Structure 1
Amino acid sequence: MNLIDLLKRLLLLALVGSVLLGGLMLFTYDVVKIEWISFMEIQPSYKPMEKPLPVAARSIPVEGPAYVTGMGAPVNPVPADEVSVQRGRLLFEINCVQCHGAGGQGNGPIAALITNKPANLTLQATQSKSDGTLFLTITNGVTGRMPAMNENLTVRDRWDLVNFIRALAQP
């Protein structure tokens, strides 16, 4: 047996083996479907600017009270002292400066890139809103303009942000 015959046999064996293996894979796919790694595509997740689901009926929120928008705006339980305002400033710098700007005028680095401009937090129109209304805006966001922060910030953090927003209008 020479080298050419040996190569022909190996090639024929490889071809027959490939056909058999391919047929076996096609047959067993219907019987045993192998779940490919899906990474993060199959999971409950929020889409950009999508509101989180409200608190389910007859349930208890994980942290803090559940604020229902139809029941009116809540009252600020956190005094606007220096500690609260400083915590609010830090939270504002982490979460809000990108859109609202360092001074809260709605001129952050991202503001020029988005269609719906962020609110100017120093204007009388914003400052005349109640603390509860500002809290609910931070909590629920504004559709198409601002994401809801209730997943990112605790109830205390959101009240501290409200106290800082009030301090923005002070000279």
Structure 2
Amino acid sequence: MLNQRVYNAINDQINAEIWSGYMYLSMSAYFSSEGLNGFANWMRVQWQEELSHAMKFFDYVVERGERPILKPIDAVPEKWDSAMHAMEETLKHEQKVTSLINNIMDVAIEEKDHATKSMLQWFIDEQVEEEAGAQEIIDSLKLLDGKGHGIYMLDKELKARQFVDETAE
């Protein structure tokens, strides 16, 4: 059984992860409409990752003998000014998710919920990777100055990304 504060925080995080996935799917649609199918693919993989993260939280709540509470998903943005703008928003969003997960960890520590702390460590490590991945693309875009053959090559590189469900490990 989960402490009520931990339970509420994890239910909120399930919603946040699903919203994140929805935002990345919206970004995928945006990039597709811009002819950047590699960027669209990268965002589609992000969508899949976020849903797997939501399910990891969902399954944890069930495993602890509780019922996950699903809440409505708020609307997500639909358009960005450029690939750089979308990637900067991605990084900003991942930083927000990091803070949300850190807050859950703080609650778990306060409530002396060691099992939840153990589960959350995976997410804390994952967020380091999430932020680094977005920053790497931003750094590449800065080098390319958003122009020319470099964007084509980066788009082609991003098209090769494939979803691997790391939550299953």
TM range (shorter): under 0.3
Higher Rg of the two aligned structures: 1
Bigger relative contact order (CA 8 A; separation at least 6): 2
More helix by share: 2
Task: Please give the TM-score of this superposition, normalised by the length of structure 2.
Answer: 0.25
Task: Please give the TM-score of this superposition, normalised by the length of structure 1.
Answer: 0.24
